[in-house]
Structure 1
Amino acid sequence: MGSDGVVDVVVVGGGVVGLTTAIRLAERGLRVRVRSRDAVTGTTSAVAGALWWPYRIEPAAEVGAWSLASLRVYEELAADPAATGVRLVAGVHADTLLAGLGTWAGEIAGLRQLAPEEVPGPYAVGLAARLPLIDMPVHLGWLRARFEAAGGVVEQGAVRGLTEAGAGAAAGVTAPVVVNCTGLAARELVPDPGMRAVRGQLVLVENPGVDTWFTAADGASSETTYFFPQPGRLILGGTAQEGDERAEPDAATAAAIVARCARIRPEIARARVLGHRVGLRPAREGGVRIEAETLPGGGLLVHNYGHGGAGVTVAWGCADRTAELVLGS
């Protein structure tokens, strides 16, 4: 950023979508500033599990390509898991049929349908896969460092509106382009009445020796069952409660999560609880919105929001598409 305070792009939102988008723009030579209401480690992204998998996300015609673009990035980042927070870990998607997935599934090496006797728990079908599992606090820190290494600046503070962001995200800063990666806050800032919260609650426990992940997620149910082994903890989930914006963990919900996970791995029932987390997934009617519009003063506003519970899964693919709109290609 020049000493005159002028930047090329202000990205509003410091979660995984905002940071990956900012990286793509900064690494193409643009002067970029990220403006985030919350600290990077305090965003919804920091609460995520986070397993790569296109889950509860639309539009179907775009999601496959976005997801695969992100998968290729995570496969590269997994070469240095201590720094990036990304590891390739084996696991099982229960209650899932390969034939029911999109064409993107054919691009995942080693993805296979399991025989009924291979599926854990009370499930008749399932898939085996080795997929990126991301330790989000570590990964968000790595994303911020990569962005700053490319000359970017992160600042914390709320914006009153998206046009205000470009006119003065901070004293003396002007930018001709604003990128909206505000997640659920887009409901008020755009405003977009199609945005809705989908509440996810997690339980963190001491890992009793689980080294594979497991999911059983019925898209029509508010209850899901999954566990993800992360360094220093095992993450148990979960919920998908549409329209529920309670930020505090619910004790009965937590107990039910532990019980569901213990049906798959009984030793989980005895694991010491380390903590609880709640995140509000930013879902949107019609799915992800990536779109550019010209502002009355001639500036450019590019939207990249509405990723629901799959922001990590599509982050890099959506960042690439957003960068194309910013650069006019």
Structure 2
Amino acid sequence: MAINTGGMDVAVIGGGVIGLTSAIALAEDGHRVRVLSRDAAGGTTSAVAGGLCWPYRIRPYERAVQWSVRSFHVLAALAERPEETGARMVTGTMTDATDSTDGGREAHSGDRPDDDLSAWYDAVPGLRRASVTELPEGHAAGWRARTPLVDMPAHLRYLERRLTDAGGSVERQEITSLTEAGRTADVVVNCSGLGARELVPDPDVHPVQGQLVIVENPGIEEWYVAADAGSADTTYVLPQPYGVVLGGTARENAWSREPDPAVAEAIVARCARRFPELAGARVREHKVGLRPARPAVRLAVERLPGGTPCVHNYGHGGAGVTVSWGCADEVLRSVRTLREGDGPLGR
């Protein structure tokens, strides 16, 4: 099927950060874009995200780093207008989740973390090894960096405005068939997140449950994260304009969206070991989000049964914000290839 060489009618499925950034990239390139989403942006998993720009629970590493670096630079530019965009540049510390005083595995001792994200660490401007005085007691190594920290509810509102300004639209509509969506579009872009499990269907998509607690800020200005990729419990403290986001959990295949009081108490206790003033902070809200995980992100093109090309862009796990703009660039490149003719299709 040949596709016209002008701007195309594109249906983007999903109104979270992945769907909105993909839609913006396409609309600003001259395409006629509709975002179709069952939930308003504030009701998506993206709205629950802590908003730190840092790769977490995402594969494949090499592509994830490329996407993350691109998003880092976009978000850093947006951070020049924090009240408008919700993005700010904030300094913080990243350490391993294991506290060496508890007899656990020792923290990394090299100048760069001992994982496959080394290219990310090399790309972050100003990243350096933390000094002993900058590390929490019991942690042998960590890293200091100034990175984008995004107020996600505000950022999602900004993205929707930016899409509208580019001529796109957002429609509240539940999509139960990609093929059906393709009947009124030249291209479908599938950013359905966890919904892809049933919509594609793709049984490799599964939830990684994350619970967090939002408290009043007792004066914390820096972010702090202690997390290992495979740990079910993490510790993070993210100061946002609306309070401090305390986390968290990463429970594989847990579907409940109801906060667990015992888990919330444990989260506050872990965070208070790093910042004792958090122990008495007034709780504002409890939240639970389901990260849309997959063994690897699916960002590829295939032909739907009705003949319409579909660009899949889902399975970003806990790094949707971090890779959003990089993935949007790839979606745009795929659609440009399709516009020029029948581009390569693959899974």
TM-score, length-normalised on structure 2? 0.89
2:222 aligned with 1:212, yes or no? yes
Residues in 2 aligned to 1:8 and 1:221: alpha-carbon distance in whole angstroms:
42
Alpha-carbon separation, structure 2, partners of 1:166 and 1:141: 27
2:88 counterpart of 1:87: yes
CA deviations 1:204-254 (Å, max 9, x no partner) are 000000000000012221000001000030110000000111110000000
Secondary structure in structure 2 of the residue aligned to 1:132 = strand
Distance 1:11 1:99 in 2: 37
Q: How does 1:91-110 map to 2 (within 5 A)?
A: 91-95=92-96, 97=108, 98-100=112-114, 101-110=117-126
2:167 corresponds to which residue? 151
Q: 1:124 aligns with which of 137, 140, 145?
A: 140
Where has structure 1 moved over 3 Å in runs of 4 or more? none
Three-state SS of the structure 1 residue aligned to 2:91 is: strand
In structure 2, the residue matched to 1:170 is none
Which residue, 303, 306, 319 being the options, matches 2:315? 306
Q: Distance in 2 between matches of 1:232 and 1:61?
A: 34
Tell me the SS of whatever aligns to 1:313.
Answer: helix
8 Å contact kept, 1:236–1:261: yes
Q: Which residue of 2 aligns with 1:71?
A: 72
Q: Matches of 1:15 and 1:99 in 2, distance apart?
A: 30
For 1:232, the aligned partner's letter is Y
3-state secondary structure, aligned to 1:328: helix
Is 1:22–1:32's contact at 8 Å kept on the other side of the alignment?
Answer: yes
Match of 2:99 in 1: none
Give how far 1:47 is off. 0.3
Report if the CA contact (8 A) 1:121-1:263 is conserved: no
CA deviations 1:171-199 (Å, max 9, x no partner) are xxx11211000000000011111011000
Alpha-carbon separation, structure 1, partners of 2:137 and 2:179: 51
Tell me the distance in 1 between the aligned counterparts of 2:41 and 2:206: 22
Instruction: Give per-residue Cα distances to partners, 1:152-175, cap 9 Å, x unaligned.
Output: 0100121111111122xxxxxx11
- Output the CA distance in 1 between the equivalents of 2:137 and 2:51: 22
1:104 Cα deviation (Å)? 2.5
| Alpha-carbon distance, 1:7 to partner | 6.4
> 1:143 aligns to what SS in structure 2?
helix
Q: Tell me if structure 2 keeps the 8 A contact 1:225–1:257.
A: yes
Give the corresponding residue for 2:341.
Answer: none
How far does the alpha carbon of each residue in 1:59-82 deviate from its partner, in whole angstroms, 9 at most, with x for none?
012111100010110010000000
How much does 1:295 deviate?
A: 2.4
Kindly report which structure 2 residues correspond to 1:1-329, keeping only aligned pairs within 5 A, or say none: 8-95=9-96, 97=108, 98-100=112-114, 101-167=117-183, 174-285=184-295, 287-328=296-337
Task: Give the TM-score normalised by structure 1.
Answer: 0.94
Structure 1: 5+ residue runs without aligned partners? 1-5, 168-173
Q: Distance in 1 between matches of 2:320 and 2:268?
A: 25
For these two proteins, the number of residue pairs brought into alignment is 317
CA distance in 2, matches of 1:44, 1:118: 33
Shift of 1:121: 3.6
Deviations 1:124-151 (A, max 9, x none): 1110010000000000000000000000
Helix, strand or coil: the match of 1:141? helix
What is the root-mean-square deviation in Å for CA atoms of aligned residues?
1.3
CA distance in 2, matches of 1:119, 1:316: 31
Q: What residue identity is the alignment partner of 1:40?
A: A
Within 1, Cα distance between the matches of 2:281 and 2:305? 57
Give the whole-Å Cα distance in 2 for the aligned partners of 1:43 and 1:118: 35
The more displaced of 302-311 and 215-224 is 215-224
Q: Which amino acid aligns with 1:312?
A: V
Per the alignment, residue 3 of structure 1 pairs with: none
- Structure 2's unaligned 5+ residue stretches are 1-6, 97-106, 339-347
Partner letter of residue 125 of structure 1? A
- Contact kept in structure 2, 1:7 and 1:33, CA below 8 Å: no
How far apart are 1:103 and its partner, in Å? Answer: 1.6
Contact 2:179 2:305 in 1 (8 A): no
One-letter amino acid matched to 2:151: D
In the TM superposition, residue 115 of structure 1 has moved relative to its aligned partner by 2.7
Moved more, 183-192 or 108-117: 108-117
Letter in 1 for 2:74: V
2:34–2:168 CA contact under 8 A, matched in 1: yes
